[in-house]
Structure 1
């Protein structure tokens, strides 16, 4: 498989509905998120006590990596600090 083909596969979201409703946003290991007119590709995850993630525009003109201690290590809710970090990055 050529490098261009692998890249195309990595950034191709299937044309199927999301289980939450709306269009699918997940591809091979990453998620596609539209923030205003900007498309960001990224991944989040966590372990008890930590929330981690990265995001970038496809051309890498904007990138962001974060690791935040959770206020509630066993909670399901996202730490509001993460949203403020993303907003400060200009996404």
Structure 2
């Protein structure tokens, strides 16, 4: 089963006393067409999210994001196990 894997490389706000939760909105595009919007809140480091690929038409994927803190993300197509729907097939 094909999914879109959104990897949050990091998400946080830097404040007095250390890191805090941050808010981010990721927009995933296939070519020039917006196919998915994902909103997140908290802190993350190398956290994968598996999203529906129903609107994916095979065009190159890219992700753009807005955040009130520091964030970095990437996006890719991946095959996942049809039984559990979240673990990558090996």
- State the TM-score bracket (shorter-chain normalisation): under 0.3
Normalised to the residue count of structure 2, the TM-score between the two structures is 0.27
Q: Which has the higher strand share?
A: 2
Which of these two proteins has the greater Rg computed from alpha carbons? 1
Scaled by the length of structure 1, the TM-score of the pair is 0.27
Of Structure 1 and Structure 2, the greater helix share is in 1
